[in-house]
Chains A and B, each alone.
Chain A
Amino acid sequence: EPEVTQTPSHQVTQMGQEVILRCVPISNHLYFYWYRQILGQKVEFLVSFYNNEISEKSEIFDDQFSVERPDGSNFTLKIRSTKLEDSAMYFCASRATGTANTEAFFGQGTRLTVV
């Protein structure tokens, strides 16, 4: 069964460092998303991406965040200068295009710990 793959599963970084979280969406899916879940809190939408551009972003997704689809298969989330409060589980999701009523498939997540 096709699945969304995220790497790494766990990343520890020092405050102020840049991190790149990687995702390989399901082949032929064209809508991509990043969500995050701070420990003990709800899953929050960060950004959606379609046709090589951001289609929507939340207020969480400020200038330190960026997304990219560098090679047609990977979908990355970059955090430019990490803060302690960026520590969270980050989920990538993808959705097929065509019909609007299709579900999002989630990856297993990357747990980011900022120290």
Chain B
Amino acid sequence: AQSVTQPDIHITVSEGASLELRCNYSYGATPYLFWYVQSPGQGLQLLLKYFSGDTLVQGIKGFEAEFKRSQSSFNLRKPSVHWSDAAEYFCAVGAEAAGNKLTFGGGTRVLVKP
């Protein structure tokens, strides 16, 4: 069975500072990995995805993530955070063998200090 762990429930970061959100997954085969962002009261917006190939993937809004198979991780990073990045971030894993359903982590809420 697939599982995703996001160890940090809350992270507070100053505007302009760098941000890293951790994600660890468990799956027997090569997974497909995703990061979604959810602003308050809003839906889920895809930030970036990893299917295969280059392990460093670029997404929207200046985000990037790196797939590290040896660590079963897919951490999300942004070099300089903007106040509009305050939201909840979800890591998710999917796989064809699992019908492409997504298994989500518990989410990390990011607060941005001015």
Contact = CB atoms under 8 A, between A and B. Distances in A.
Contacts of A48: 99-101
Contacts of A101: 32, 51-52, 96
6 contacts: A35-B104, A42-B106, A42-B107, A43-B90, A91-B43, A95-B100
A31 B94 CA distance: 14
A100 to B, nearest CB: 4
B101 A45 contact: yes
A44 B92 CA distance: 11
B56 interface: no
B36 interface: yes
Q: How large is the interface on A (under 10, 10 to 19, 20 to 34, 35 or more residues)?
A: 20 to 34
Given A45-B101, A93-B102, 6 more contacts: A35-B104, A100-B96, A106-B36, A106-B45, A107-B43, A108-B43
A48 B102 CA distance: 10
Interface of B: 32, 34, 36, 42-46, 49, 51-52, 90, 92, 94, 96, 99-107
A45 B32 contact: no
A104 B49 CA distance: 10
B99 A55 contact: yes
Interface in A4-56: 31, 33, 35, 41-45, 48, 55-56
Interface of A: 31, 33, 35, 41-45, 48, 55-56, 91, 93, 95, 100-101, 103-109
Contacts of B92: 43
Nearest to B99: A56
A42 to B, nearest CB: 5
Contacts of A43: 44, 90, 92, 102, 104
A58 to B, nearest CB: 8
A34 to B, nearest CB: 10
A44 B101 CA distance: 10
A106 B43 contact: yes
